[in-house]
Amino acid sequence: MDTSMILLALGLLLAFIMSMNLGGNDAANPTSAAVGAGAMTMKRALVAFCIFAFLGAVLQGSMVIKTVGKGIVPEIDVVGAFAVILSANVWIFLATMRGMAISTTHSVICAVIGYGIAKFGIEGISLTALGMIAASWLTSPICSMILAFVIYKMIYGFANGRYETSPARFFKALLIGSLCFSAYSFGANDVANATGVYITIAANMGHMPDSLAMLSLAVFGTLGIILGALLFGPRVIETLAFRVTRLDLLTGLAASISNALVVYLFTTVPYIILGYGLPISTSYAAVGAILGASMAAKRNVSRSTSAYLVMYWLFTVPVNILLSASIFYLVSLAVG
């Protein structure tokens, strides 16, 4: 077996581990509001997440897989895919073990940028696609925060300010429904983080069209996401559900609907207009939604936990760019 095949095998193994890391860290994004508000137990929320994330990844995951695999750099070779997946894996795993809801999207995209700089130079990176992605990173949490604030006010107004006399079962049903929609949106947007770098490799090796390659990668990645969510998800769910702020049914519902809408719209609308979906941070969207709903309800927010989350978010960018470029350079030297 030649070196490229060994790297491919190791890379695919790391991609599956990456999928597990992604599931372990990002399962909190669709589920934290329902769990924190007491609408569902942790176990049931995770089961719902697994089912609908799988559907989202299989039915619409190709929208963002194409962006990650071919939108930022011309292509990603075997060594590059290995470098990207390994560097993102290391950072996401460390954050997950600390219970920090970082952006797996930032981790992977910045790792692709690091590879692109090392392989092609700055001129080899699509600044247009990168600018659109960067803009989505900034706008998605702001949009989810504002939307959650507005939705909370609408829900509270619908209940006429008398939450205690409103049917709690009705709001629980809405919150569970929004969890399912949010998990679907997550699957459509985030499965690309684990497998998008392999689209060119899969298409070339399997002699298959891009559409079939993307579907195969979506199924492969989602299986890892499900396993990771079940094994490691509760750590980060605890952080978002209970340590950022205290949620009730109304704030949880507003946050969940906002998160689901923002992620889905950033996935589908740019794809319809531009031909590729934007890989946004579902973590940022989820945290922004929780903060927006909490502000609308005038709930206290943990400044220390929020500051700790932001610190991890900021470090994600330089760590993954440098780590991916370094791994690519060293492995390239080793394989000649």
| pLDDT tens by residue, 48-99 | 999 999 999 999 988 888 777 677 888 888 888 889 989 988 888 787 777 6
Tokens of 53: 């994330």
3-state secondary structure of 84: helix
Q: If you write DSSP's letter for every residue of 139-151 in order, what string do you get?
A: HHHHHHHHHHHHH
Q: What is the pTM of this model?
A: 0.81
Q: Is 247 left (phi over 0), alpha (psi -120 to 50) or beta?
A: beta
SS3 156: helix
The pLDDT assigned to 164 comes to: 54
pLDDT at site 51:
95
**Parent domain of 235:** 3-335
User: Are 97 and 150 within 8 A, CB to CB?
Assistant: no
How many folded domains does the chain comprise? Answer: 1
Q: From first to last of the 336 residues of the chain, give the pLDDT tens digit.
A: 567 778 778 878 888 988 898 888 788 878 887 888 888 899 999 999 999 999 999 999 888 887 776 778 888 888 888 899 899 888 887 877 776 667 778 888 899 999 999 998 888 888 887 888 888 878 888 999 999 999 999 988 887 655 555 667 888 888 899 999 999 999 998 888 878 777 777 766 766 677 787 888 889 999 999 999 999 888 888 877 777 667 788 888 898 899 899 999 999 998 898 887 888 888 788 888 988 998 898 877 677 767 777 777 788 888 899 999 999 999 998 886
Q: Are 53 and 187 in contact (CB under 8 A)?
A: yes
pLDDT of residue 194: 78
Closest CA to 263 of 252, 279, 274: 279
pLDDT at 147: 96
